[in-house]
Amino acid sequence: MMADVPARNGAEGSSGVSRPATWPNRLTVLSGPSGVGKSTVVAEIRRSHPEVWLSVSATTRAPRPGERDGREYHFVDDTEFDRLIEAGELLEWAEFAGNRYGTPKTPVEQRLAAGHPVLLEIDLQGARQVRAAMPGALLVFLSPPNWEELVRRLVGRGTEPPEVRERRLEAARVELAAEPEFDVTLTNTSVNDVVNELLSLMVTPTPH
């Protein structure tokens, strides 16, 4: 099935910052609600398009089974994360579910300076920081096909206590409300469609 052509949400985000019509050094940020499938999209790009350079974040969370240091994340302790912040080595960082995550600045700047597209997969707080620091970045919001699907993904087998479930759903409502801040929305109906749309956004300057 052909993917819908993604529509730009408008040249001006709710921050009021106008962005250039083209992105000569294209920095693309993939963000969206927790549970929408951002990491699945990135894992698929890593698998099927190894030529695409993906920023590797630093995080204080422990590796999950199958994750490798330096591939999914740089796994660091709190002391090292503090050092990265103090040394100004992070382009942005945020706390998410009790752990800290940040984008190492130098590798991103080097890739952009060399004219290569760069993709960051980060949470909403991080996306807002990138918007402020680099107004020319293209912000892509990954949205669920519908609310029921997001609920299914967030609460899974429903083994959590009701208050945990409610907290997650409330957070998801707040996160979904951030969509108008983004330049483009991609709906996660199919991982392959999202990957293809994202890759074409990353290399195509937006005509004005």
Summarize as ranges the residues that interact with ligand 5GP (CB under 6 A).
Answer: 34, 38-39, 57, 61, 92-94, 96, 101-103, 121-123, 125-126
Q: Which CB, 84 or 202, lies closer to ligand 5GP?
A: 84
Residue 106 φ then ψ, to 5°: -60, -50
CB of 62 to ligand 5GP, least distance (A): 10
Q: Which CB, 23 or 73, lies closer to ligand 5GP?
A: 73
Q: Which CB, 34 or 206, lies closer to ligand 5GP?
A: 34
Please work out, in degrees rounded to the nearest 5, the angle formed at the alpha carbon of residue 154 by the alpha carbons of 4 and 8.
25
175-198 per-residue burial string, b: 16 or more CB within 10 A, e: under 16: bbebeebbbbbbbbbeeebbbebb
CB of 61 to ligand 5GP, least distance (A): 5
CB of 197 to ligand 5GP, least distance (A): 18
CB of 207 to ligand 5GP, least distance (A): 29
For 84, the token pair is 């990265």
Residue least distant from ligand 5GP (Cβ) = 126
Contacts of 59 (CB under 8 A, 6+ apart): 73, 74, 75, 76, 99, 100, 101, 102
